[in-house]
Chain A
Amino acid sequence: MTSRLSAITLNTFREAVRDRVLYNLVLFVLLLVASAPVISQISIGMEKLMLVNLGLSSISLFGVIIAIFVGIGLVSKEIEKKTLYTILSRPVRRWEFIAGKYLGLLLTLVVNAALMTVGFYVALLIFTHGLKAADGMLLVAIYFIILQFMMMVAITLLFSTFSTPIFSAIFAFSLFVIGTFGNDLRNFAAMSQGATRWLATAAAYAMPNFASLNVISQVAHEQSVGAQVVLFNTIYAALYSVAVTAAAVLVFERRNLK
């Protein structure tokens, strides 16, 4: 089972690399280099803030875009090219196929984010002429971005198991936007009364919450993120991702591929 899973995972990763997904790294570096003259002209004390905001937001945004646009083709492309039938004719279970695809895309995003993080820290070193202990907190923000990727890949994969690529992209992007206002949705629910309150609360919890995973502003202002927040956000993102991936498996198991 492990070898089958790792084979699908690595193949998904290789396919993403072959599709030149990692070319976005070039764009990321260009963005940092191009913004350098602008950043250097900004008043003292703001350069680092701007670099951190720009760098971390880019890592997040590039990753989410890749998660959506690669994720929507994970299943449909295999069906379209008829390679799925070859895979499933071998002793590969459908859940292994979905789990492998999930892990493969996640691996791509983690490698991508890791390379961007290296570039980001190099840029930080150049701009600030040294790193401080507080800069370690930036890694927490990057870790939370990876947790966001975990959830986004699961969501995109779920849509790709039953919808067309274009609709999957629309649904996944909509959920990403809604999720960035996750805490506001809870506020709306809290302000409702009676049955509406229950329904709104259920809807708010059914939606992903990316708001609590976004600590970019906080770390950019050198504020720490509590260990408990890290722990419970990890539990939340992991369980939500597994739940959505399991739902994707359920849908895919029942899908008639003939």
Chain B
Amino acid sequence: MAVVDIRRRTGYLFLAVIVGHVILISTQVTTRRGVPMLEEAVFGVFSEVQRVANSVASGVRSSWQDYFALQQVRAENEQLKQQLADLRVRLQQERGLAEQSQSLQKLLELKTTSALTTTAANVIAGGASPEFRTITIDKGTRDGLHADMAVIAPAGVVGRVIQPSGRASKVQLLIDRSAAAGALIERTRAQGVVIGTGADELRMDYVSGSADVKAGDIVVTSGIDGIYPKGFVIGQIQSVRRGGGEYSAILIRPAVDFNSLEAVLIVTTPPPAGDATGTAGAGQDHE
């Protein structure tokens, strides 16, 4: 009966809900420390729901494919795709190592570089809200993952782990509005910061207006943010607009197709200490 009475007082109820939300928001905005408990708990519980939903969806899809496809040909195709993905990752690692050694030779220094260790994970869910570009993967702290680990795909950089739970992790895609990474243009070595736009393209900021940059140039990670390993492909420059300002306006087409991600690799080796210097904010939320 009491519930009925409250429901009749629509105005008060509306006000109470609004005030409740405002309090909830303000506590988070002022503290800004760690992950909120509610977020952690809801994510922990719902990641299991996402896992089940993904299993059902994958099961249905797999059955559908199995019914129509020739088993042997499909298995062989999967194997070849896997091999190709491995080779593309290795190619990127080699490219990074080659660039690194070239720079080191120029400086007449000798350093030993260690190969990256990665762990594979499946994408089990997309973003819950269209305004945030995130995905959920099926590996978490139990698999040795923690926040700020780089996430890559055979084609290039995907993003970083922002919230690991026991058996799943939330990954912020590089195209998210709050995402950023230290980057350089492969051909000219001009440095800048790549920032997500929320759409399927990236922006490169802080590149001098006088720097030699043109459409078609490949943009790779610089490693200076301490999150993304050096030399991994971010994308290709789509357009360069030189205004009257100090910096050029550069748009990048990402190398990774974020809409069809199914499996990713998480870099479990932290980038070499020498790379992680300067640029506060790169690779992290830039808000």
- A and B: interacting chains: no
Give A contacts to B, CB under 8 Å.
Answer: none
Give B contacts to A, CB under 8 Å.
Answer: none
